[in-house]
Structure 1
Amino acid sequence: MNNVIKIVLIVVLFGTQMSKAQENSTIDYRYLWEEEKLAHDIYDTLGKKWDLRVFHNIKQSERRHMESVEIIIKEKAISFELFAEKGKFHSVVLQNLYNKLLAKGLQSPKSALEVGRIIEKTDISDLEIVLTKKIPLSEKQILESLLFASKRHLAAFERKMSQL
């Protein structure tokens, strides 16, 4: 099976698991934080490997996303060890996704940009699901800001892909 097909299947499964979890429970801000960390860590590595400015710029934004979700985690007094180590996650789903997407992104600059698109599409989907829940306005504003930024990131990756 083609690697791209495998990754798409993982993302579909990943998104489905996130959707079911969000439908039946409260919002898992720890998961959302790790999802932002996944993007940051992958963009950091791919930016160094391929020296594409888009990765360097968006990596900084992902760090701010992590900080935004961390504000919610602290305000809600959610117990959570925030891993600083690059590429390390509590979520097995995110750990597996990180490993597969990083391996794909290291194949070529075009594959790296496709990984960026996959990550941003997944973030957008997950944030849209979370934003359907009844949540405090302060949290909603933070999550809407993350959604807006993820849409801009997706557009940046698509623009860069069209230039290759």
Structure 2
Amino acid sequence: MKNLRYTSVTTLFMLLLMSLVYACDDNQNELASDTLVVQDVTQEEIKALQFMLEEEKLARDTYSYLGSLWSVNQFKNIKSSEQTHMDAIENLMIQNNIEYTILPPGQFKDDTLQQLYDTFVVEGTTDVVSALKIGATIEDLDIVDLQNYMDATTNPAIITVFERLQCGSRNHLKSFVFGIENNLGTYTPQYLSQDAYESILSQNRERCY
């Protein structure tokens, strides 16, 4: 009985110790994310974060709508990824007390993004290739806008987050182009240079996090 009781106590102690170790790992992960906290954010950087939050929302809302029309895996899968992109920007804004607004689906504060959404949901009803081209166009735009904002800042936290989002957008672009070509269509880049576009397509799928 004494040996059994000793074994039970020892087992309980080991389980408690393991739970503390895992808890420490979680805290380390949280501390790692804290290193992305932005210091001394400029007004231009605030505008960049606010705009990119809505541009990622444009992708999410458009893919959600088009996914309801067409049974295409890209829209279902990438829609969830766009929500993750929104969350990454939103977390950065929350950490730094930056004001922002997320309007209901299909509504945008930025007039240009609103016009794009209104156009996309109409053109996306034509056929599945047109819908996939809209997806490619959004990712094409996203890659360029993210790069322009990264070029305009030296803030390491913003650059880190935007680099990860851009990596995801490159993967998304390749996925949409694959879908277009699989349906016997072609895509011509709307924002990227032809060289940059071909370079992205030539790469293997990237690991972004």
State the match for 1:107 in structure 2. Answer: 126
What are the ranges of 5 or more consecutive residues in structure 1 without an aligned counterpart?
1-24
Q: Is 1:136 matched up with 2:155?
A: yes
State the match for 1:32 in structure 2. Answer: 52
Q: Is 1:61 matched up with 2:86?
A: no
Higher relative contact order (CA 8 A, sep 6+): 1
What are the ranges of 5 or more consecutive residues in structure 2 without an aligned counterpart?
1-42, 184-209
Deviation, structure 1 residue 153? 0.3
State the match for 1:117 in structure 2. Answer: 136
Give CA deviations for 1:73-128 in whole Å, capped at 9, x if unaligned: 21221222222x11011111111111011111111101000100110000001001
Q: Is 1:97 matched up with 2:116?
A: yes
For 2:92, the aligned partner's letter is: I
Q: Is 1:146 matched up with 2:165?
A: yes
Deviation, structure 1 residue 146? 0.2
- The structure where helix makes up a greater share of residues is 1
In 1, Cα distance between the equivalents of 2:53 and 2:101?
11
In 2, Cα distance between the equivalents of 1:80 and 1:74?
9
In 2, Cα distance between the equivalents of 1:91 and 1:31?
8
State the match for 1:162 in structure 2. Answer: 181
For 1:41, the aligned partner's letter is: D
Of the structure 1 ranges 31-40 and 127-136, higher mean CA displacement relative to structure 2 is found in 127-136
SS of 1:131's equivalent in the other structure is: helix
Identity of aligned residues (%): 32
Deviation, structure 1 residue 132? 0.7
Q: Is 1:76 matched up with 2:96?
A: yes
SS of 1:26's equivalent in the other structure is: helix
Q: Is the 8 A contact 2:150 2:158 kept in 1?
A: no
In 2, Cα distance between the equivalents of 1:47 and 1:97?
17
